[in-house]
Chains A and B, each alone.
Chain A
Amino acid sequence: MTDTNKTSLTRESLPGLNRRYRAERRFHLVGKMAVAFSLAFLTFLIGSIVYQGIGAFFQTEVRLEVPQEMIAEHGDDGFTLLRQSMLHNLPDAKGRSARREAYKMAGEGSDIELLSAIADQQTQAAVVTVWIPVSDDIDMAYKSDFAPDMLGSFSDRQKGWLDTWVADDRLRMSFNTGFLVNGDSRDPERAGIGGALMGSIFTLVVCLVLSFVIGILAAIYLEEFAPKNKLTAFLEVNINNLATVPSIIFGLLGLAVFLNTFGLPRSSALVGGMVLSLMTLPTIIIASRVALQSVPPSIREAALGLGATHIQAVFHHVLPLALPGMLTGTILGMARALGETAPLLMIGMVAFIADPPSSFMDPTSALPVQVYLWADSPERAFAEKTSGAIIVLLLFLFVMNLTAIILRKKLEKKW
């Protein structure tokens, strides 16, 4: 037992101090490891999604030379023109099976691309050079740099043609705008998330309008005006409970009430938004009430002391101060709604819908549902699309959260 040296200031002078410091260091280390662990996971997740999905934003194209007379002959029939052009560019494709294999080198729907590319060029040259999308198998193979396991579905003849195309530098990658604007499709080359994106935006607009207005009004009433009695206490408990109810229950409620009772159109953004707003309302009400509570009572008293009515005090002074908090809560609620799939499944938004919606009543899909649908598809190319859709969804979320932060910073007042 060493005596405590009371005159010294060194660490050794106090017994047990070293042990305390060690414990502190251990704690720091554990904390840092936890952070590093989660960071690693996040990086891995985002990295793998980006790695898998980035390809969805690009498409492999092949350069075709189309003679002017061929255009003159088949200019109004894209299908035939495409087939003729393929044969023209693969002159050694002789015989029925070789011709069929040559046709398959072009992507589904490339006939439309071909026609519009020719129309765009407006040239009278003897041979028109165009780039058209290749088939999804070639696309995948080209993106994987012709990895052996990607070549299984090609015949030897097709492999030969691919080799010559590569040798002649006739293949290139281009940005796939179709992925962002097209609706869903059974063909991976033509499938895009445009429809789902629009559907999500429409749904969120409905959800935002409904839940923001109703949520904030409800929060203001409950916090500022409602008498504090058993009924309001009961309401409060229920709102808190609703926030924890599984989202699929809200989907069932939407199905029963909005679709079956009110007869609103199935799979529509309107119903989707309404269901999601049911789900986000409790979150928004709770966040808004917290924001209202955090406004110092002195501000309220100052207004009331000047002879302002309660409504004036709330709307002139309390609300502007609570608004940043309310907005943050709302946008976080929206972000959750954006990622939600289960309730949408219940109201039919899972259906295959090829056309992007043009109104709130049109049947539509939504981003997370699209991810779910594609993840289920057997075609290899859809795996890439799935990751691509996830990237878009994540970007959408990121933009929303950024908006929340910017709005809050802009509206926040110091006092």
Chain B
Amino acid sequence: MQPKILAKNVNVAYGDRQTLFGIDLEIAPQKVTALIGPSGCGKTTFLRCLNRMNDLIPTCKVEGTITLDGQDIYDKSVDVEVLRRRIGMVFQKANPFPKSIYENVAYGPRIHGLAKTKADLDAIVEKSLRRAGLWDEVHDRLDSQGTGLSGGQQQRLCIARAIAIEPEVILMDEPCSALDPIATAKIEELMNELKQRYTIVIVTHSMQQAARVSDTTAFFHLGYLVETGATADMFTNPQDERTEAYITGRIG
């Protein structure tokens, strides 16, 4: 199958400090790809390269090519707003806007002009909240503050906000790191449903989570992509010693 995202020989440096070295990674469509590795291994940096969030850091230099459906996303002709509309992102800390639940979800479609009428927008908001599994919990209080929800609900609101603009890829940066196990389970179940429609790349510190939700796992260590493989193989019989040492809890 044609990979959705293809990274070839990606090097990233912040100023003089290189953080990623020659990353080659294929991300398959409609699959969950987990990026795991100890803190500071470059997995989040790599994730943020995929929708060019690193552009915000002036000292950050990205070399090599990353393609989305065969198109180089770092090409001069690429508009970063259009790219981010196609590659959405969910962050580590749930960060709903301090506005109503409705406004949170409606913001993306509104700035991209996805809804012609109020009814269209209502429909998008409802559909997104339903897909994020939040509709039943909030449909009677869409006007209340998004920041008033519980941590898990806030994170699902952020997912709803991300999918409201119908991206093709959703990047998730440790989306459950601040959530309790039940809220985490809900989001994991949600990922399972979302992958029917979207390509998901998730950075996680929890190996168990990577094992539970992902189809493919990529292990990063000290800026190198050490090993990539089917998740089931990675967690029962990894090929690289460093992977083995990491997932069995011997290096961190």
Contact = CB atoms under 8 A, between A and B. Distances in A.
Interface string A304-316: 1111110010001
Nearest to B104: A302
Interface string A230-251: 0000000000000000000000
Interface in A267-315: 296, 298-299, 301-309, 312
Contacts of A312: 111
A413 interface: yes
Contact of A296 (B56, B83, B95): B95
B91 A414 contact: no
Given A306-B161, A306-B165, A414-B147, A301 B107 contact: no
Given A301-B53, A316-B107, A415-B147, A307 B112 contact: yes
A248 to B, nearest CB: 40
Contact of A304 (B56, B145, B161, B165): B56
Given A299-B95, A317-B97, A415-B147, A305 B107 contact: no
Nearest to B171: A305
Nearest to A310: B56
A296 B112 CA distance: 24
Contacts of A415: 96, 98, 147
Interface in A303-359: 303-309, 312, 316-317, 321
A307 B82 contact: yes
Contacts of A308: 81, 107, 111
A227 B58 contact: yes
A338 B148 CA distance: 40
B98 A306 contact: no
A391 B84 CA distance: 58
A307 B53 CA distance: 10
Given A299-B97, A414-B147, A305 B165 contact: no
Contacts of A413: 98, 145, 147
Contacts of A302: 91, 95-97, 158, 161
A223 B108 CA distance: 24
A305 B98 contact: no
Contacts of A11: none
Contacts, number: 68
A317 B112 CA distance: 16
B162 interface: yes
Nearest to A412: B98
A413 B103 CA distance: 15
A306 B95 contact: no
Contacts of A304: 53, 56, 84
B33 interface: no
A301 B111 contact: no
Given A227-B58, A316-B107, A305 B97 contact: no
Nearest to B161: A306
B101 to A, nearest CB: 13
A228 interface: yes
Contacts of B32: none
B91 A301 contact: yes
Contacts of B93: 298
B61 to A, nearest CB: 16
Nearest to A301: B91
Interface in B85-127: 85, 88-89, 91, 93, 95-98, 107-108, 111-112
Contacts of B147: 413-415
A267 B102 CA distance: 53
Contacts of B161: 302, 306
A316 B111 CA distance: 10
A304 to B, nearest CB: 7
Most buried by A among B51, B58, B89, B95: B95
B84 A306 contact: yes
Nearest to A229: B58
Given A296-B95, A316-B107, A305 B162 contact: yes
Contact of A305 (B58, B84, B145): B84
B56 A306 contact: no
A270 B225 CA distance: 65
Contacts of B81: 307-309
B92 to A, nearest CB: 9
Contacts of B165: 306-307
A356 to B, nearest CB: 44
Contacts of A414: 98, 145, 147
Contacts of B162: 305-306
Contact of B58 (A228, A299, A306, A307): A228
A298 B95 contact: yes
Interface string B143-162: 00101000000000010011
A36 B161 CA distance: 54
Contacts of A227: 58
Interface in B63-93: 81-85, 88-89, 91, 93
By Cβ-Cβ distance, the 9 closest A-B pairs, closest first, are A298-B95, A305-B89, A307-B85, A307-B84, A413-B98, A415-B147, A306-B108, A415-B98, A307-B81
Given A298-B91, A302-B97, 6 more contacts: A306-B84, A306-B161, A306-B165, A316-B107, A413-B98, A415-B98
11 contacts: A298-B91, A298-B93, A298-B95, A299-B95, A302-B95, A305-B88, A305-B91, A307-B84, A312-B111, A413-B98, A415-B98
Interface of B: 51, 53, 56, 58, 81-85, 88-89, 91, 93, 95-98, 107-108, 111-112, 145, 147, 158, 161-162, 165
